[in-house]
Amino acid sequence: MVPQPVNAGDASENRPLRFAVFVVAYNAVTTLARVLDRIPAEAWDLLEEVYVFDDASTDDTALLGEGYKASRGREKLKIFRNPRNLGYGGNQKRGYDYALERGFDYVILLHGDGQYAPEKIPDFIRAAKTLRPAAVFGSRMMDRRGALRGGMPLYKFAGNRILTAYENLLLGSRLSEFHSGYRMYAAEALRRLHYRAYTDDFHFDTQIIVELLHQGLPIVEIPIPTYYGGEICYVNGMRYALDVSLAVLRYKLFSLGLVSCPWIGEEARRRYPAKKSPLSSHGRVTRMVPAGARVLDVGAEGSYAPLLKAKGCEVCGINDRRLPEEEGGAYARFWIRDLDREGLPTREEAGRFHVVVFADVLEHLRRAPEVLSQAKDLLLDDGTVLASTGNVAHFTVRLSLLLGRFEYRDRGILDRSHVTLYTGKTFRRLLASQGYRILRQKVTPIPFELFAGRSRAARAFWRAVEYAYYAAARLWPSLFAYQFVLLAAPEKKAAHGE
């Protein structure tokens, strides 16, 4: 699929794109000159600048760079030396800041140790001019045999493939390689990313991929040759693999609202995704509403209306902000009201309902008991209330407390907009306090379906994990239930609901 372009800076059809090469270097005195020599003449003509950031090398890397510039007459070459070692990620941050200050449209990251082929720079530039992507990645794994022929050690090849498969599985992506350091980024993409909050260590490259995917920015891969020579590797392979694995897992848990992730911009948070699993709160609520029922969807943010309409239900909705654009056509009537201040519509305004749904709503209300009480007046004689909420006693929250952390987030169990947090026991007590009898309680697992990508194998794997976890949630709901879903009826009507 051809990616949708991003705006490369303020480039227009009337102005050529401005390209630069950013060389990261550390103790590269024996390799830097050869790397610069291998940049093709065609590339020098296309580039506005080649700049080297020497990360406080203990050898004469910066001095050699200055000598190279003088002896070759390369006016486009700039040499900088960091006053202290910033780390691989820290050095990149400084280099991207420089690219944005200079107004380049695209910056190509090249390593000064000679591991990546400068001869491919024109290919990066052509990809940018043709597709205008957010990023172009040079991949050694588009030709896997070539990677081995190029001298990649077998253990590094295997590790690369395993880590890439793991990352694709959790992120729902299809990149052939996550671990090449040969890349090009659009300035417009860098402005949208929060790279200054990333690590200063080697898994910086993983974090930038994660946020590109998180924001839905287009990535293009091009094949590059593999070369392993006598360069010195400063990466601790085992630590790198652990850091990468934990970074991707943390993001995935963050996307589910289970943990925080400081290096992802909160404003990039997407709307709650609809969950299709029959074990999810969406699946539970949809199945527990009888076909053909008249339903009041309080909160109207759970994507329930289209599912219920498909069951022949008449669905009315209410929230305090807006009619959801995506589901607007599924509502027969809709009210915009401040539930804490105005409460529910009266029976005269709304009529009566078979089911009033409070899907992940009550925890947001300061006057939840009063609103629950009002709902009884809107129910038909055999009417019921369906309510769901997150479980604040979930093991992930308990573990965070054990570690001295209690961090609110933009969604999930510790959504910062929650006014009251419930356990299963206190949620049941809330309904009982307003004269409801619990007819049925269901639990939901962590929504593992959101881990799955587009591949059938990934979906099958996470479905199996979800059902295994669900078994644990049923055995020990107070610890493992992610959400509780309650079906309740007013006490005087409870006998009709059994």
pLDDT of 220 > 50? The answer is: yes
pLDDT of 272 > 70? The answer is: no
Contact in structure between 386 and 284 (CB atoms under 8 Å): no
Please indicate whether residue 121 or residue 448 has the higher confidence score (pLDDT). 121
Tens digit of each residue's pLDDT (9 = 90 or more) over 316-331: 999 887 665 555 578 8
pLDDT of 146 > 80? The answer is: no
Rounded to the nearest integer, the mean pLDDT of the chain is 88
Tens digit of each residue's pLDDT (9 = 90 or more) over 453-498: 666 777 788 889 999 999 999 999 999 999 999 999 998 755 444 4
> Percentage of residues in the chain with pLDDT exceeding 70?
88
Span 72-80, mean pLDDT?
Answer: 95
Span 171-181, mean pLDDT?
Answer: 91
Backbone angles phi, psi at 106, to 5 degrees: -140, 140
CA distance 482 to 280: 9
pLDDT of residue 50: 97
pLDDT of 14 > 50? The answer is: yes
CA distance 381 to 386: 15
* pLDDT bracket for residue 280 (50, 70, 90): confident
What domains are defined for the chain?
Answer: 19-268 (3.90.550.10), 281-497 (3.40.50.150)
pLDDT of residue 1: 35
Span 330-358, mean pLDDT?
Answer: 92
pLDDT of 388 > 50? The answer is: yes
pLDDT of 289 > 90? The answer is: yes
Tens digit of each residue's pLDDT (9 = 90 or more) over 293-302: 999 999 876 5
pLDDT of residue 273: 53
Span 167-190, mean pLDDT?
Answer: 93
* pLDDT bracket for residue 269 (50, 70, 90): very low
pLDDT of residue 462: 82
- At 310, list the tokens: 């498909």
pLDDT of residue 455: 65
Identify the sign of the CA torsion 174, 179, 180, 185.
Answer: positive
Tens digit of each residue's pLDDT (9 = 90 or more) over 80-104: 999 999 999 999 999 999 999 999 9
- Return the top range by mean pLDDT from 9-13, 361-365, 399-403, 409-413: 361-365
CA distance 411 to 255: 9
Rg of the chain over all Cα atoms, to the nearest angstrom: 28
pLDDT of 19 > 90? The answer is: yes
pLDDT of 211 > 80? The answer is: yes
> pTM of the predicted model, to two decimals?
0.65
